[in-house]
Amino acid sequence: MKAPVNHIIDSSFIDGPGNRTVIFFQGCNFNCKYCHNPETINLCIHCGQCVPGCPEGALELVDGKVEWDEKKCVDCGACYKNCPYSATPRVKESTVEEVMERLKGNMPFIRGITVSGGECSLQRDFIVELFREAKKLGLGTLMDSNGGLPIAFDKELMEVTDGVMLDIKGTDKGFHLELTGRSNDIVLNNAVELARLRKLTEIRTVVLSDNPCSRQTVVNAGNILEPFLKDSKVTYRLIKFRPIGVRGEAEHWMMPSQGQMEELKSLVEDKGFDKVIIT
């Protein structure tokens, strides 16, 4: 079984508890206006447009497919920053065995793995197999997900997943649709079910400056989850929107002030979250 892997970070302290290896898959089912890594949204269609722009000759069109030479690549970003399809040629179709080899090289310095993206749940079958193998090594398993697929209701997936860090981008249907291109029905069902199953590790909301829907999202997320938070350890991470790496209209959006963030934090501090963090 293979999955498109954008990149792997061998050691991270910010993608779940402890030191973890993080696997970033290529491809996403959302198209968020504020996406900081828009080149991870789609799979490359091998149009070849980026090939001549590579200053290192790391890209080549062979039999209608763009091949990437990792050894020559200096990560200048020219190919993916200019891709008109929100894709990148720098993706490896990897097997579970190949990813496990990499993980074994990181033992005993890591305590777990986190799958991210793009949207990791699009690689559901791969993740089930990967998590099974990781658990044989005693590693913890976390998903970092937009919740657009019904992951919490997938028994087999939940059996091998220790926890999920879930985005709640908007609780208002129209706002979520406008922001991501997708409905939030499944996201909110996932949030409740994951909390009920004690699989919810963290929720995250990107806060937009002076946007009433951001405020409403934080308040509603707190209210929706409050009944399930007793004796649990769920972090609510409030993330300041930053206009870095974004496209289109989001390039002109303002960053919220620390005062706005603190005010939102105060609205949910008594809901029962383990921590409410501003980042």
CB of 184 closer than 8 Å to CB of 171 = yes
State the minimum distance, in angstroms, from the CB of residue 92 to ligand SF4: 13
Give whichever of 66 and 130 is closer to ligand SF4, judged by the CB atom. Answer: 66
Using CB under 6 A, count the residues that bind ligand SF4.
26
Q: What is the per-residue binding string for ligand SF4 in 119-158, x denoting contact by CB under 6 A?
A: ----------------------------------------
Q: What is the per-residue binding string for ligand SF4 in 27-66, x denoting contact by CB under 6 A?
A: -----------------xxxxxxx---x-x-xx------x
Question: What tokens appear for 110 in the block?
Answer: 């890591």
Taken as a whole, the chain contains a residue count of: 279
Per-residue DSSP letter, 254: P
Question: Distance between CA atoms of 130 and 199, rounded to whole angstroms?
Answer: 18
216 contacts: CB under 8 Å, gap ≥ 6: 171, 172, 175
Give whichever of 70 and 231 is closer to ligand SF4, judged by the CB atom. Answer: 70
Sign of the alpha-carbon torsion through 144, 149, 152, 157: negative
Q: Please report the DSSP string for 193-220 in residue order.
A: HHHHTT-EEEEEEEEPTT-HHHHHHHHH
Q: What is the per-residue binding string for ligand SF4 in 69-98, x denoting contact by CB under 6 A?
A: ----xxxxxxx---x-x-xxxx--------
State the minimum distance, in angstroms, from the CB of residue 117 to ligand SF4: 17
Give whichever of 50 and 221 is closer to ligand SF4, judged by the CB atom. Answer: 50
Give whichever of 1 and 74 is closer to ligand SF4, judged by the CB atom. Answer: 74
Question: What tokens appear for 198 in the block?
Answer: 């004690």
Q: Residues interacting with ligand SF4, by CB under 6 A?
A: 44-50, 54, 56, 58-59, 66, 68, 73-79, 83, 85, 87-90
